[in-house]
Structure 1
Amino acid sequence: MTYLSRVRINPLRAESRRLLANPRALHGAVQGGLPGASDERVLWRLDADDPRRPHLVVLTRSRPDWTHVVERAGWPDADGEHALVRDYTPLLDRIAVGQEYAFRLTANPVQNTIDPVKPTPRQARRLAELPPDRKPRGFRLAHRTAAAQLNWFLTRTARWGFEVPAARTDPTAPGLPGPAGPTGLPDLANPADPSDPSDRASAAVGGTPAPRTTIAHEVRITARHRHSFRKGGRNGGQASPADQAGGADQAGRGGSGGKGGRGTQVTFHSATFEGHLRVTDPEALTAHLLGGIGPAKAYGCGLLTLAPLPAAR
């Protein structure tokens, strides 16, 4: 069985502030909701579109118990349902080709390259220590601009089992710039975003970044954040949203770790996508609903959730 949970978080409590500031700490709280010494891989996401009423959304294979989260980071004595847990199987069983849903996904848009333009100290050491006759393993680079993140998403939906319909808007008036090109096809004349480090990395190694889509689709980015915290060591670290430079989740790690017991610095970017999808491959979509999308799943990325489309007005 699979369960989808939604837990109310009180952001004014000391424990909630600690959890909200550190994805690693929140991951530990999520794992604590599973019975026994579970090695189950859990998908979770923090929905903080209302910062005064954030919610923790979790997908588990076994039935969880969120009492510890409610008591330490929720409203244990308030009215209402503190932790909503529902069987996810009925939704999975209903998925069929052509069905349409509203969706939300917090993801880690990244690109792999073997030759980063500006390697971190750790990446530079790996490249320097590599024998001359061996090819380096790829490095993950974050897509940091909203355009690159959106393009990353739209160019991968087919493999995830769905498509995002074109935006249902009137065409742009003649002579005015608009989101759609004259053909609605990928913009092959301007495929790369020069402000995006991952596109520059592709160009540097002779690669070709995915073409930018020029037609508007029923999707938007509702949140972009940069997170930084320490993994291991004595300090819990902290996470900081980036107001302007946030974006693609880089699961990149800097620092040497261990110095003074401070652990290894982890930095990554996340982007939250919301919109409207149409099912094209139920099996692939189900696999990604259960297995997640992209890297950094332990830190709150990868959980795709569906909901009925709002009624047309």
Structure 2
Amino acid sequence: MHLTRFRINTARLGGRSLLASPQRMHAAVMASFAGALPTSRGEAGDSRVLWRLDRNAKAEALLYIVSEERPDLTHLVEQAGWPTTATWDTYDYGGFLRRLETGSTWAFRLTANPVHHIRRKDGEPTKRTAHVTPRHQMGWLLDRQEAAGFRILPTPPERRRLPQGDEFQLTVRDERRHRFEKTDGRSDRRTKVPLVTVTFDGRLEVTEPVALARTLLSGLGKAKAYGCGLMTLAKAG
């Protein structure tokens, strides 16, 4: 398994075009793999590939990719990078995952599509709907932590700024709303699809290394083709 990092040149038209569209970014990511053949509808797709955009500053946008196959990002360097001075970094991810230990603590980041299913009227089918408040978005992640192999660390009482609302070392930021067209697989009809994404930052403790490794490789939640689901860990400072 591989973890790849690529910095996007936000001053280039190609970079800004990719940053503006999860669909275009997905296509560019999948074009990095010789083995990812287009589907019958002309769109490349592979559930084994996860990607995420981190917008750390106006001029700093980082693309992270987790994949089984080693990617070749030459086309991204030419379109949205620095062709003469910078490329990309790819690391062995499998070795890192095998070293995860129960009880170890990490800082983490996750961009996700927190959704739930609701029924507006009796007798109607349920409809997938995005959570739109930070409290419910945090609840979405907290509900999944046990099965995903980790627990989000509580905030020590002396560091809590509010009587309630900051019980966990977890923040939600950078909510983004997209709306794009998607082809219905059964009728070939193109429909408008809304997508709400948020980024979680926090600290966690590993409770089940195998389950957490599976989460880091398979992703968490829906909309993985559009930059959601990829969680990364860093040393907790």
TM-score surpassing 0.5? yes
Aligned CA RMSD, in angstroms, stands at: 2.3
Secondary structure (helix, strand or coil) at the match of 1:85 reads strand
Give the direction of change, closer, same or farther, for the CA distance of 1:10–1:179 in structure 2 (3 Å limit).
farther
Given that residues 105 and 305 in structure 1 are in contact (C-alpha distance below 8 angstroms), is that contact kept between their aligned partners in structure 2? Answer: yes
Give the Cα–Cα distance (whole angstroms) in 2 for the partners of residues 74 and 171 of structure 1. 41
Give the structure 2 partner of residue 64 of structure 1: 71
Give the alignment partner of residue 74 of structure 1, picking from 77, 81, 87. Answer: 81
TM-score of the aligned structures, taking structure 2 as reference length: 0.88
Give the superposition deviation at 1:76: 1.1
Residue 162 of structure 2 is aligned with which of 167, 174, 178?
A: 178
> In structure 1, what residue type is equivalent to 2:215?
H
Deviation, structure 1 residue 215: 5.7
Larger radius of gyration: 1
**Cα offset, 1:281, TM superposition:** 1.1
Paired position in structure 1 for 2:28: 29
Alignment-derived partner of residue 83 in structure 1: 88
Q: 1:90 to 1:138 in 2, by over 3 A?
A: same
Identity among equivalent positions (%) equals 40
Q: Which moved more, 1:14-23 or 1:56-65?
A: 14-23
**Amino acid corresponding to residue 53 of structure 2 in structure 1:** L
For the 8 Å contact 1:257–1:265, the answer to whether it is kept is no
Hey, what does 2:224 align to over in structure 1? 297
- Secondary structure, counterpart of 2:3 in structure 1: strand
Taking a change above 3 Å as real, the CA distance of residues 75 and 147 of structure 1, as seen in their structure-2 partners, is: same
How many residues get paired? Answer: 227
Unaligned runs of 5+ in 1: 118-126, 128-134, 181-213, 233-252
Distance change (3 Å), C-alpha of 1:93 and 1:171: closer
Q: 2:140 aligns with which of 136, 152, 159?
A: 152
1:171 Cα shift? Answer: 6.2
Deviations 1:167-225 (A, max 9, x none): 135166xxxx8243xxxxxxxxxxxxxxxxxxxxxxxxxxxxxxxxx561111113111
Higher strand share: 2
Question: What is the rounded CA distance, in whole Å, between the counterparts of 2:36 and 2:114 in structure 1?
Answer: 31
Rounded to whole Å, the distance in 2 between the matches of 1:304 and 1:5 is 13
C-alpha change, 1:266 and 1:71, in structure 2 (3 Å) is same
2:191 aligned to which of 242, 245, 264: 264
